[in-house]
A and B are shown apart, each in its own frame.
Chain A
Amino acid sequence: MDLNLNRADYLQVGVTSPKTMKLLPASRHRATQKVVIGDHDGVVMCFGMKKGEAVAVFKTLPGQKISRLELGGVLNTPQEKIFIAAGSEIRGFTKRGKQFLSFETNLTESIKAMHISGSDLFLSASYIYNHYCDCKDQHYYLSGDKINDVICLPVERLPRITPVLACQDRVLRVLQGSDVMYETEVPGPPTVLALYNGNGGDSGEDLLYGTSDGKLGLIQITTSKPIHKWETRNEKRRGGILCVDSFDIVGDGVKDLLVGRDDGMVEVYSFDNANEPVLRFDQMLSESITSIQGGCIGKDGYDEIVVSTYSGWVTGLTTEPIHKESGPGEELKINQEMQNKISSLRSELEHLQYKVLQEREKYQQSSQSSKAKSAVPSFSVNDKFTLSKDDASYSLILEVQTAIDNVLIQSDVPIDLLDVDKNSAVVSFSSCDSESNDNFLLATYRCQANTTRLELKIRSIEGQYGTLQAYVTPRIQPKTCQALQYLIKPLSLHQRTHFIDHDRPMNTLTLTGQFSFAEVHSWVVFCLPEVPEKPPAGECVTFYFQNTFLDTQLESTYRKGEGVFKSDNISTISILKDVLSKEATKRKINLNISYEINEVSVKHTLKLIHPKLEYQLLLAKKVQLIDALKELQVHEGNTNFLIPEYRCILEEADHLQEEYKKQPAHLERLYGMITDLFIDKFKFKGTNVKTKVPLLLEILDSYDQNALIAFFDAA
Chain B
Amino acid sequence: MLLPVFTLKLRHKISPRMVAIGRYDGTHPCLAAATQAGKVFIHNPHTRSQHFSASRVFQSPLESDVSLLNINQAVSCLTAGVLNPELGYDALLVGTQTNLLAYDVYNNSDLFYREVADGANAIVLGTLGDISSPLAIIGGNCALQGFDHEGNDLFWTVTGDNVHSLALCDFDGDGKKELLVGSEDFDIRVFKEDEIVAEMTETEIITSLCPMYGSRFGYALSNGTVGVYDKTARYWRIKSKNHAMSIHAFDLNSDGVCELITGWSNGKVDARSDRTGEVIFKDNFSSAIAGVLEGDYRMDGHTQLICCAVDGEIRGYLPGTAEMRGNLMDTSVEQDLIRELSQKKQNLLLELRNYEENAKAELSSPQSEADGPRGIIPANTKLHTALSVNLGHETQAAHAELCISTSNDTIIRAVLIFAEGIFLGESHVVHPSIHNLSSSIRIPITPPKDVPVDLHLKTFVGYRSSTQFHVFELTRQLPRFSMYALTSPDPAREPLSYVNFVIAERAQRVVIWLNQNFLLPEDTNIQNAPFQVCFTSLRNGGQLYIKIKLSGEITVNTDDIDLAGDIIQSMASFFAIEDLQVEADFPVYFEELRKVLVKVDEYHSVHQKLSAEMADNSNLIRSLLVRAEDARLMRDMKTMKNRYMELYDLNKDLLNGYKIRCNNHTELLGNLKAVNQAIQRAGRLRVGKPKNQVITACRDAIRSNNINTLFRIMRVGTASS
Interface residues of A (CB under 8 A from B): 7-9, 12, 311, 322, 335, 338-339, 341-342, 345-346, 348-349, 352-353, 355-356, 359-360, 362-363, 366-379, 401-403, 406, 408, 410, 412, 419, 421, 423-431, 433, 436-439, 442-444, 446, 448, 450, 471, 473, 475-484, 627, 630-631, 633-638
For the complex, give the distance between the alpha carbons of A477 and B470 in Å.
10
In the complex, are the beta carbons of A631 and B427 less than 8 A apart? no
In the complex, are the beta carbons of B429 and A368 less than 8 A apart? no
Set of chain A residues within 8 Å of B332, measured between Cβ atoms = 322
Task: Give the contacting residue for A429; candidates B425, B430, B472, B473; CB below 8 A.
Answer: B425
The reply on B6 being an interface residue by CB < 8 A is: no
The reply on B432 being an interface residue by CB < 8 A is: yes
In the complex, are the beta carbons of B471 and A374 less than 8 A apart? no
In the complex, are the beta carbons of A480 and B62 less than 8 A apart? no
CB distance from B421 to the nearest CB of A (A): 12
In the complex, are the beta carbons of A408 and B429 less than 8 A apart? yes
In the complex, are the beta carbons of A360 and B355 less than 8 A apart? yes
In the complex, are the beta carbons of A637 and B61 less than 8 A apart? yes
- Among B16-24, B34-42, B517-525, B672-680, the stretch that binds chain A is B34-42
CB distance from B199 to the nearest CB of A (A): 26
For the complex, give the distance between the alpha carbons of A410 and B430 in Å.
10
In the complex, are the beta carbons of A342 and B431 less than 8 A apart? no
24 A-B pairs with C-beta separation under 8 A = A338-B334, A352-B349, A355-B352, A356-B352, A359-B355, A367-B379, A367-B381, A370-B378, A373-B379, A374-B377, A374-B470, A375-B357, A375-B358, A375-B362, A375-B371, A378-B375, A402-B343, A423-B241, A438-B433, A438-B434, A439-B433, A450-B343, A480-B468, A483-B466
In the complex, are the beta carbons of B348 and A353 less than 8 A apart? yes
The reply on B513 being an interface residue by CB < 8 A is: no
Task: Give the contacting residue for B39; candidates A322, A482, A634; CB below 8 A.
Answer: A634
* Mask: chain B, 470-499; 1 = CB below 8 Å from A; 0 = not: 111100000000000000000000000000
B336 closest partner in A (C-beta)? A9
The reply on B50 being an interface residue by CB < 8 A is: no
The reply on B60 being an interface residue by CB < 8 A is: yes
For the complex, give the distance between the alpha carbons of A430 and B346 in Å.
34
CB distance from A124 to the nearest CB of B (A): 28
In the complex, are the beta carbons of A481 and B469 less than 8 A apart? yes
The reply on B155 being an interface residue by CB < 8 A is: no
Task: Give the contacting residue for B432; candidates A339, A421, A437; CB below 8 A.
Answer: A437
Set of chain A residues within 8 Å of B62, measured between Cβ atoms = 633-634, 637
The reply on B240 being an interface residue by CB < 8 A is: yes
Set of chain A residues within 8 Å of B423, measured between Cβ atoms = 428, 430-431
For the complex, give the distance between the alpha carbons of A503 and B375 in Å.
55
- A345-B342, A437-B431 known; 14 new pairs, CB 8 Å cut-off, are A349-B348, A363-B358, A367-B379, A374-B376, A374-B377, A374-B470, A378-B468, A402-B346, A406-B416, A428-B426, A442-B431, A480-B470, A483-B469, A627-B36
B396 closest partner in A (C-beta)? A434
Which 10 A/B pairs are nearest by Cβ-Cβ distance? A637-B61, A428-B425, A375-B361, A372-B379, A479-B471, A375-B376, A359-B355, A430-B429, A377-B357, A442-B429
In the complex, are the beta carbons of A638 and B436 less than 8 A apart? no
* Mask: chain B, 409-443; 1 = CB below 8 Å from A; 0 = not: 00001101010000111111111111010000000
In the complex, are the beta carbons of B431 and A634 less than 8 A apart? no
For the complex, give the distance between the alpha carbons of A17 and B575 in Å.
62
Set of chain A residues within 8 Å of B366, measured between Cβ atoms = 371
CB distance from B328 to the nearest CB of A (A): 15
The reply on B338 being an interface residue by CB < 8 A is: yes
- Residues 329-365 of B at the A interface (beta carbon under 8 Å): 331-332, 334-335, 337-339, 341-359, 361-362
In the complex, are the beta carbons of A8 and B335 less than 8 A apart? yes
In the complex, are the beta carbons of A376 and B338 less than 8 A apart? no
Task: Give the contacting residue for B362; candidates A12, A373, A480; CB below 8 A.
Answer: A373
CB distance from B416 to the nearest CB of A (A): 6
In the complex, are the beta carbons of A376 and B470 less than 8 A apart? yes
For the complex, give the distance between the alpha carbons of A477 and B353 in Å.
11
For the complex, give the distance between the alpha carbons of A14 and B439 in Å.
37
For the complex, give the distance between the alpha carbons of A338 and B205 in Å.
46
In the complex, are the beta carbons of A373 and B458 less than 8 A apart? no
For the complex, give the distance between the alpha carbons of A379 and B354 in Å.
9
In the complex, are the beta carbons of B348 and A352 less than 8 A apart? yes
Known: A473-B471, A637-B61. A478 touches B39 (CB 8 A): no
Known: A376-B358, A426-B239, A483-B466. A637 touches B458 (CB 8 A): no
Set of chain A residues within 8 Å of B36, measured between Cβ atoms = 627, 630-631, 634
For the complex, give the distance between the alpha carbons of A9 and B342 in Å.
10
In the complex, are the beta carbons of B375 and A480 less than 8 A apart? yes
CB distance from A118 to the nearest CB of B (A): 39
CB distance from B391 to the nearest CB of A (A): 18
Task: Give the contacting residue for B374; candidates A375, A402, A442; CB below 8 A.
Answer: A375
Task: Give the contacting residue for B381; candidates A374, A427, A428, A635; CB below 8 A.
Answer: A374
A345 closest partner in B (C-beta)? B341
In the complex, are the beta carbons of A352 and B376 less than 8 A apart? no
* Mask: chain B, 429-463; 1 = CB below 8 Å from A; 0 = not: 11111101000000000000000000000101000
Q: Is the interface of B mostly helix, strand, loop or mixed?
A: mixed
The reply on B107 being an interface residue by CB < 8 A is: no
For the complex, give the distance between the alpha carbons of A436 and B376 in Å.
29
CB distance from A310 to the nearest CB of B (A): 13
Which of A12, A341, A369, A481 gathers most chain B CB within 10 Å?
A481
In the complex, are the beta carbons of A349 and B344 less than 8 A apart? yes
Known: A342-B341, A479-B473. A373 touches B351 (CB 8 A): no
Set of chain B residues within 8 Å of A356, measured between Cβ atoms = 348, 351-352, 355
CB distance from B325 to the nearest CB of A (A): 12
For the complex, give the distance between the alpha carbons of A370 and B468 in Å.
22
- Residues 378-408 of B at the A interface (beta carbon under 8 Å): 378-381
Set of chain B residues within 8 Å of A448, measured between Cβ atoms = 240
Known: A342-B334, A408-B429. A12 touches B350 (CB 8 A): no
In the complex, are the beta carbons of A476 and B354 less than 8 A apart? yes
Set of chain B residues within 8 Å of A423, measured between Cβ atoms = 241
In the complex, are the beta carbons of B353 and A377 less than 8 A apart? yes
The reply on B367 being an interface residue by CB < 8 A is: yes
The reply on B684 being an interface residue by CB < 8 A is: no
Set of chain B residues within 8 Å of A370, measured between Cβ atoms = 378, 380
In the complex, are the beta carbons of A372 and B240 less than 8 A apart? no
Known: A375-B357, A377-B357, A473-B471. A402 touches B380 (CB 8 A): no
For the complex, give the distance between the alpha carbons of A209 and B312 in Å.
43
Set of chain B residues within 8 Å of A401, measured between Cβ atoms = 346, 350
Task: Give the contacting residue for B413; candidates A362, A483, A630; CB below 8 A.
Answer: A483
The reply on B13 being an interface residue by CB < 8 A is: yes
Set of chain B residues within 8 Å of A476, measured between Cβ atoms = 347, 350-351, 354
In the complex, are the beta carbons of B352 and A378 less than 8 A apart? no
For the complex, give the distance between the alpha carbons of A366 and B358 in Å.
11
CB distance from B446 to the nearest CB of A (A): 11
The reply on B134 being an interface residue by CB < 8 A is: no
Set of chain A residues within 8 Å of B338, measured between Cβ atoms = 9, 338, 341-342, 345
Task: Give the contacting residue for B377; candidates A371, A373, A379, A484; CB below 8 A.
Answer: A373
Set of chain B residues within 8 Å of A437, measured between Cβ atoms = 431-433, 436
For the complex, give the distance between the alpha carbons of A363 and B347 in Å.
17
CB distance from A633 to the nearest CB of B (A): 7
Set of chain B residues within 8 Å of A376, measured between Cβ atoms = 354, 357-358, 375, 468, 470
For the complex, give the distance between the alpha carbons of A669 and B638 in Å.
56
Set of chain B residues within 8 Å of A429, measured between Cβ atoms = 424-425
Set of chain A residues within 8 Å of B266, measured between Cβ atoms = 421
* Mask: chain B, 123-148; 1 = CB below 8 Å from A; 0 = not: 00000000000000000000000000
Set of chain B residues within 8 Å of A322, measured between Cβ atoms = 332
A315 closest partner in B (C-beta)? B339
For the complex, give the distance between the alpha carbons of A430 and B361 in Å.
36
In the complex, are the beta carbons of A9 and B425 less than 8 A apart? no
A478 closest partner in B (C-beta)? B354
Set of chain A residues within 8 Å of B345, measured between Cβ atoms = 345, 348-349, 352
Which of B240, B424, B430, B431 gathers most chain A CB within 10 Å?
B431
CB distance from B377 to the nearest CB of A (A): 5
